Structure formats: C-alpha cells, structure tokens
Chain A
Amino acid sequence: MIRGLYLGALVVSLASMAVMDRRWRLFLWADAWRGAIVLVTGVVLFLSWDAAAIRLGFFERGHGQALVGVEIAPHLPLEELFFVTFLSYLTMVGHALVRRVLDRRAARLAVGSDHGIGDGRGHESDHRPDHQSRHRSGHEVAR
C-alpha cells in the first residue's frame, strides 16, 4: 500500500466535490458564508465525536501503510481532518443535488416541459419571476 494513498484519495474526493459545487452552485458556491458556517460546524462536530471516542477508548489509530503517519492529536491522524471535511462537504453537495433534482422534477410535472439539472440556478438563488410560479405549481402538485 502506498504511503499517503488515503490522504491523496481524500484530497481528490474533496476536489471533486468542489468541482460539482462550482458547476451547479450547490453549497459554497450557492452561499459562501452560510456554507462556511455549516462546513465548520460539521468539522467541529465530527472531530468532537472522534475526540470523545478516542478518549473513551473506542477508537485507536491503525498502522496501515496508506497513512502518512502524522497525528494532529494522540490517535487522531491528519487524514481525519480531511475525512470529516469531506463527509460534511459530500453531505451538503449530495443533499443539494438531490433537492435540486426533486424540485426540477416537481416543476417539470407541473408545467410539462423539460429541465435538466441546469446551470446553477438553484431553488435558493433564483430571482426570476417565472421561477416562483413554477415553484408554486410544484408545491401544489406535491400535495
């Protein structure tokens, strides 16, 4: 196993999330300030969870060759910081993407025309008047 493989995989995965986020304006590219608060909250929450589990003796670091071997705290490898960031980012990009698809589907059912995933005009960021009526119709269909 290649040393640093895990960290490398996490960095590539994080970069992939950023590409999708930017392409479809899902999270940080939809609202940078709000996204940053959510991301930092996720990182703090999951690192607390890790710290508690390590302190209680539930987790300990492994000795796999794919780790770079740097610890940011006893038994907490550097990779974990990237992992909890990735988990939080993946969650928000995934949720926004699913939400976008569901919204578009409901709107499509309402107006009977076709819309793809689109160009980043999300349900939270669009101010065009026709979007509101589309949305309202979607609401009625959903009920």
Chain B
Amino acid sequence: MSYLGLDAIFVVVAAVVVIVAVRPGLTGRRRSASGPTLVDRRWWLATALTAAGLMILTAVFDTMMIAADLFRYDASALIGVRIGLTPVEDLAWPLVASVLLPALWELLGRARRADGAQSVVRRATEATTHPEGNP
C-alpha cells in the first residue's frame, strides 16, 4: 500500500460520515421536501472554504516543518508530487478534517435535539417547510 492508498481509507470514512449527515432519513425523524435539512448549502460552502484554507496552511506549514526536519517520508511510498516540500498526500489530512469533524458536530447536534434541545438550524428549516411552526 502507498501513502495515497492509506489516505483513501480515511477519505472514505469521512465520506461515510458526511453521507449519514446529509441524509436525514437515516437518523432524523423526517425527510424535508426541500432536501437535506441538517447539512445545507451554507454548510457545504463553509466546509469548502475551511478545506481550502486548511489545505493552503498545510502546504505552507508542512513545507516549513519538513525543512526543519520535524518528520521525514519514505520517498518510495509517495507518488512524488509536492507543493513546496509538502507531498500532495498530506493534503488529505485537512480535507478529511474539514469534512468529517463538522459533519460529526452536526450529527451530534441532531442526536441532542432528539433529546429535546432546540436548534435554530432545525427550527429555521421547519419554519420554511411548515410556516405554522407545528411539525
């Protein structure tokens, strides 16, 4: 297995978590007619911007950290494409972080709301689909 192959495993794990988060039917009470209720368009935009920002930071700081000899790579496990000194494989870390962790946060929020706590995200969605505010 290469480092890229190992990355793929973690990317798949992140994808599974986000798929669960975007499908309210799996754990939520009801699928909204307007589509995903929990992970909406603005969530995706925030996630994309976070991922982009973290990937830039990763390329910059990894390069500095590799230059400072904080860690080393086995070159034979890498595909060989680098941004600065950063192997592209390292960019999977910020990608997985920015997708999986916020999705988990939303899922935990839904679990908590099922216990009676309220979320404006949820209420806003319900207010949109049920203007009378009574589910």
Contacts and interface: CB of A to CB of B under 8 A. Distances in A.
B108 A34 contact: yes
Nearest to B87: A58
A102 B10 contact: no
Q: Chain A, interface size: which category?
A: 35 or more
Given A41-B101, A92-B102, A106-B42, A34 B70 contact: no
Interface residues of B, number: 49
Contact of A56 (B40, B77, B105, B108): B77
| Chain A residues touching B, majority SS | helix
Contacts of A132: 120, 123-124, 127
B93 A87 contact: yes
A115 to B, nearest CB: 14
B95 to A, nearest CB: 10
A136 B131 CA distance: 10
Contacts of B20: none
A77 B70 CA distance: 9
